[in-house]
Amino acid sequence: MQKKLLAVAVAGALAAPVAAMAQSSVTISGVFKVGFDQYKVANPGTARAGLNTSEYRVTDNSSRIIFGMTEDIGGGTAGIAQIDMRAGLDTGTLTASGNTWVGLRGSSWGSLTMGRHDLHYGKQPDDIAAKAGALMAAAVSIMDYNYKGTAIAGATRTPNVVRYDSPNWSGFAFTLAYSTTGSPTTEADLSTGIRKGYAWNINPSYTAGNWAVGYSYWKQQADAGGADANQTGNVLYGYWSGGGFKVGAAVNQSKTSNVAAAGGAETTSSDRRNYTVPVSWTSGSHNIYAHYTKAGKDKVGGDGTDAKMYALAYVYDLSKRTSVGVTYAKIDNNRASAYNFFTNTGGLGSTNATLTAGEDGQLIQGTIRHAF
């Protein structure tokens, strides 16, 4: 009898954690996307005389593995968390550099999270990189940089963020976010004479059945000052879809300033207005994506600081999760502008792929994508 009671007690003890865990869930999702491309400096400057101006590459397109966690804690509230691991399939790297955060979500009040988030950049509604189009061909290349190549809102995840996302009220929703540093990844205020940094973003939007419109405002004062350390940005965007077609538009007005580390005089370093017109068409397994994007003349940089970009991609869906595609993209810089393809340098690009003022870039990429 005692043995039977002991067995029941052990079984109950083992079952208790299982019952508690039954209200928690972990999901694994992501995408693997790699391309074979030719990158060419189409109008090389004099400094490249006698040097290679084109190359073939195997290029990762921001592959990722995402772990999502949710726990029902009662009263319509849940604990939520996400780890977004970016996997460089071409080089074998794996880092938690994506949208990674922890927080709470309420059925009536929205969600509050803290961590690392995409803010402000990439709001233009072009879908060229959505499936097997090249990530480098995205309109971000022009829309979220100034003529010198400085990224607005980092053109990547903003660190050290507290973010609130409202519920969806019949199509209307908004995001309000605050970062304690802006672009730098770590705080650097204590025991220094440098200024304290911050950044904040507000992003209201309205989505109906086949159209949407939104606005994003960005304000940054980066820790320690420096070149282009102060930023303000405004993006108005929207799209309409129907009959397999989607047509969008976005206008991005951004301004940057140079500031001394101790908080000295502020000098405007760039002030420009860029726009894009993306279009797409889908029929069964066939998808076509394109955009025309224009960088206007910078008010500070003056003549020769404008640029334009063309991109076209065809994608064929082999299944619901696997697709292949080919992309062509071209950036034409005027003599004083240095716009480049998104992610073309650094971790996702290649050495010496930076375009200098007046140089043009050309990209042809064949891509394979699998989502899971």
Give the tens place of pLDDT for each residue, 306-337: 999 999 999 999 999 999 999 999 999 999 99
Give the tens place of pLDDT for each residue, 229-256: 999 999 999 999 999 999 999 999 999 9
Give the tens place of pLDDT for each residue, 39-93: 999 999 999 999 999 999 999 999 999 999 999 999 999 999 999 999 999 999 9
pLDDT attached to residue 70: 97
pLDDT of 141 strictly over 90:
yes
Give the tens place of pLDDT for each residue, 178-198: 999 887 677 878 888 888 889
Q: Which residues of 155-173 are buried (b: 16+ CB within 10 A; e: fewer)?
A: bbbbbbbbbebeeeeeeeb
pLDDT of 278 strictly over 90:
yes
pLDDT attached to residue 187: 80
Q: How far apart are CA 61 and CA 69, in angstroms?
A: 25
pLDDT of 3 strictly over 50:
no
**Neighbouring residues of 3: CB distance < 8 A, sequence distance ≥ 6:** none
Give the tens place of pLDDT for each residue, 29-40: 999 999 999 999
Q: 314, 287 in Cβ contact below 8 A?
A: yes
CA distances to 29, 151, 174 from 65, in Å: 6, 25, 27
Q: 301, 273 in Cβ contact below 8 A?
A: no
Taken in order 351, 141, 171, 244, the sign of the CA dihedral is: negative
- Tell me how crowded residue 76 is: count the other CB atoms within 10 A of its CB: 11
**Neighbouring residues of 57: CB distance < 8 A, sequence distance ≥ 6:** 36, 37, 38, 39, 350
- Select 33-371's CATH number: 3.30.43.10, 1.10.3720.10, 2.40.160.20, 2.40.160.10: 2.40.160.10
- Binning pLDDT at 50, 70 and 90, where does residue 1 land? very low
pLDDT attached to residue 23: 61
pTM more than 0.85: yes
pLDDT of 16 strictly over 80:
no
Helix (H, G, I), strand (E, B) or coil at 182: coil
pLDDT attached to residue 43: 93
Give the tens place of pLDDT for each residue, 206-222: 999 999 999 999 999 98
pLDDT of 364 strictly over 80:
yes
Domains of the chain by residue range: 33-371
Q: How far apart are CA 279 and CA 289, in angstroms?
A: 6
Q: How far is Cα of residue 252 from the mean position of the Cα atoms in its chain? A: 15
Return the closest-CA partner of residue 233 out of 294, 154, 291. Answer: 154
pLDDT of 21 strictly over 60:
no
Q: How far apart are CA 13 and CA 361, in angstroms?
A: 64
Own/partner contacts of 42-51, CB < 8 Å, gap of 24 or more, are 42/330, 42/359, 42/360, 42/361, 42/362, 43/333, 43/358, 43/359, 43/360, 44/359, 45/356, 45/357, 45/358, 45/359, 47/356
DSSP 293-308: EEEPPPTTT-TT--EE
As given in the structure block, the two tokens for residue 17 are 């954690």
pLDDT attached to residue 311: 98
- Tell me how crowded residue 133 is: count the other CB atoms within 10 A of its CB: 33
Average pLDDT of span 338-366:
94
Q: How far apart are CA 182 and CA 85, in angstroms?
A: 21
Residue scoring higher pLDDT (261 or 98): 98
Return the closest-CA partner of residue 223 out of 255, 257, 199. Answer: 199
pLDDT of 265 strictly over 90:
no
**Neighbouring residues of 212: CB distance < 8 A, sequence distance ≥ 6:** 125, 205, 206, 238, 239
pLDDT attached to residue 263: 67
Q: Which residue has the tokens 């402000």?
A: 120
